[in-house]
Structure 1
């Protein structure tokens, strides 16, 4: 059988795709992009997203946008790459402008679209933009998706507080531990430990992350005793859980408790040692501060 006309292009496309995957230097990236243009593969649905990702990873969002503007009919995958890259680069207004363009072109978003757009809504002072994205998620039937719903809870918690975030939480037909953790964090963020703890206790199945979230919150609010009780009641503790308590003792200058806790840790990693060192450094600083002449300032 004779090879098809497209086979050489597929081989070149695969070769360039592999090069993009390995590329770490901007100069090499531009050379690969030149080859993509020379071989007439600029509109490739495989290479365009990969090129944009490579530009973002090399801290060059401007080139990613220039590439995107040359694509005649960007698909949802490429749009999502642009949303993710722009949001992670802190270009939140750019992300929302891109989302507006996507709607005008009548490109249908998917469940990976909204979290990055919603994140950008959270980071700029524009409540209306967040509400518009919420409405659009409703129209596309994706608001009840756990991935999208969690992002909306986090957005409302940041922009308007826990009240509206809880309404969003209540309206979700399905709620997993990630969603519960998001609403618990919303109450923690506004200092409402009572409601955060009530929600924590209502949750039937806890994972390590929600345990750590609650323990860290009590530590940050100076309630070491409750943090210790929670830690003791954990059915499974990983090294991160142990480190959470260790840093709690270190941050409140309980150097004795910090040392005793470090000694009984079943597993230690570099963060454990950092916690112990931080505890000693803070204790030395606090002791020195206490010895200073109060009128020296």
Structure 2
């Protein structure tokens, strides 16, 4: 471009600087920009956009401030780009000042500018400010609707996000993705899956983010059929080279009970990140395959992939599942000595759980006393569970006293101690635990279960009659109970009914 004199063409130079930013050479693009003698506002916008997308948000704002001194007016593109830099810096006061500039320049009704302001206020100030701007827009396009829906989803207000989504005159894949991701983020996987299925029925092709959110929901629910459908979709679209997607597939298969398929996906991957290895190790640990998890860790080390703190949570959990105390001690120590990773409370929790399960109760208590963190519910819960396994009533009482302080309404803690007392025939103490629960108004959480039928996950709570087909469900349940009772009176040699029940 230079020998042909094209380096002074604002349009071509803008394309060049934009490409530099995309490739990670924003600093070089900025150097080229500073040597341009007569840039126009289009070139300024390109440079501000490039800087706002990198770690140069401050430079983007400084450059925006020079537009006017150079004899130009910020336009409908300048403001959305600089507002992204404001979000990067979490500079709400600066954002309000730029909002004032949009009013002075008469751009406070422009759909692109207001959309940028909605995004900024959603992240930094509060969803109410963003909603006021949205409601005051004379014209809205799908991008502005998406910004508002995504704003609600990001702050965890999924119900309002869904309500606004249902009112949208026009939707695109981003609209659907915002709602699905919002439900997944708020641990409402069933609704995430429902919206994803509806997205399919309306022939909207999911993007990478929608599939990541849906796979996360499938992993929570154990919705294997839908997870397999997403896997097939990924293969058909040639998206299996996208590492985050394959990582999510491994996690989904492992949590849905198909560890063999998770390993198959893992082995087919040509490029693996530290998250890939960690997800696979955690999946093996979840299935009680501690030895295999450690073998996977050795493979990770041989591949010269440096483990992170989450990897060690997975490997310590694997040691806990199979009772490899010495191995756990070695991994816990080598975190700091070999990998310079500071042990966090989660690592101490895993180690205390390992020692407690294996019966090293004294060592577990000493580790609790010596750790540089205040013990949380998970730590005391591990000691309470260990006290039940090994019948240590005194430790159980101590653990519960601390758990009442940090988790006063967790009924499971009281139930564990009650079971310890019952195992030792201390019925008076069992009654005292129940009295404490009544006095503290602790309600026992009802049990629940779920089943996937035709790509839909049905959830059931004890005593719940809200399911649309609950009458038919109870009819089948009563019929099964009747068959089981009848089977008790049928001799085995005449028991075709018994064989039916056992089948």
Q: Does 1:238 align with 2:205?
A: yes
Aligned partner of residue 287 in structure 2, secondary structure: helix
Tell me how far 1:295 sits from its aligned partner: 4.1
User: Is 1:136–2:101 an aligned residue pair?
Assistant: yes
Q: How does 1:67-106 map to 2 (within 5 A)?
A: 67-106=32-71
Alpha-carbon distance change, 267 to 156 in structure 1, aligned in 2, over 3 angstroms = same
For each residue in 1:38-95, what CA deviation from the matched residue of structure 2 results, as whole angstroms up to 9, or x when unmatched? x5x6543345434434543554433333332333331012111211111122211101
In the other structure, the counterpart of 1:278 is 251
Counterpart Cα distance in 2 of 1:70 and 1:242? 44
Check the 8 A contact 2:79/2:113 in 1, yes or no: yes
- Over 3 Å counting, the alpha-carbon distance change for 1:278 and 1:62 in structure 2 is same
Does the 8 A contact of 1:118 with 1:155 survive in 2?
A: yes
Computed over aligned residues only, the root mean square deviation of the Cα atoms, in angstroms, reads 2.8
Does the aligned pair in 1 maintain the 2:181–2:213 contact within 8 Å? yes
1:228-262 C-alpha deviation (Å, 9 max, x unpaired): 33334342242445664233212x2x44x22x224
Q: How does 1:148-163 map to 2 (within 5 A)?
A: 148-163=113-128
Aligned to 1:267: 233
Which of the pair has more CA radius of gyration?
2
- Change beyond 3 A, Cα 1:198–1:54: closer
Rounded Cα–Cα distance in structure 1 between residues aligned with 2:150 and 2:322 = 39
Distance between the aligned counterparts of 1:74 and 1:105, measured in 2?
9
Q: How far off is 1:97 after superposition?
A: 0.4
**Of 188, 191, 196, the match for 1:223:** 188
Distance 2:24 2:214 in 1: 36
Work out whether residues 53 and 81 of structure 1, in 8 Å CA contact, stay in contact via their aligned partners in 2.
Answer: yes
The answer as to whether partners of 2:153 and 2:161 remain within 8 angstroms in 1 is yes
CA deviations 1:191-227 (Å, max 9, x no partner) are: 2223222222332433332122212211221222222
Q: Deviations over 1:106-165 (max 9, x none)?
A: 302222222211100111132232122212222333332222221111111111121111
Shift of 1:181: 1.8
Partner of residue 249, structure 1: 218
Q: Which of residues 144, 162, 180 in structure 2 aligns to 1:179?
A: 144
Give per-residue Cα distances to partners, 1:252-288, cap 9 Å, x unaligned. Answer: 2x44x22x22444573433565543222345434334
Tell me how far 1:185 sits from its aligned partner: 1.6
Assess if the C-alpha contact under 8 Å between 2:154 and 2:182 holds in 1: no
Moved more, 139-148 or 235-244: 235-244
State the TM-score, normalizing by the size of structure 2: 0.46
- Count of residue pairs the alignment pairs up: 258
Mapped partners of 2:22, 2:176: distance in 1: 33
Q: 1:108 to 1:291 in 2, by over 3 A?
A: same
Relative to structure 1, the CA distance from residue 242 to residue 99 in structure 2 (aligned partners, 3 Å threshold; closer, same or farther) is closer
Say whether the 8 Å CA contact 1:216–1:248 is kept in structure 2: no
Change (3 A) 1:117 1:274: same
Which has the bigger relative contact order, CA under 8 A and spacing at least 6? 1
Instruction: Report the 3-state secondary structure (helix = DSSP H, G, I; strand = E; otherwise coil) of the residue aligned with 2:218.
Output: helix
Q: What secondary structure sits across from 1:73 in the alignment?
A: coil
- Counterpart of 2:178 in structure 1 is 213
User: CA–CA distance in 2 between the matches of 1:99 and 1:231?
Assistant: 40
Alignment pair present for 1:120 and 2:114: no
Q: TM-score, normalised by structure 1?
A: 0.75
Extract unaligned runs of 5+ from structure 2: 256-282, 289-316, 324-352, 356-363, 365-503
**2:170 counterpart of 1:170:** no
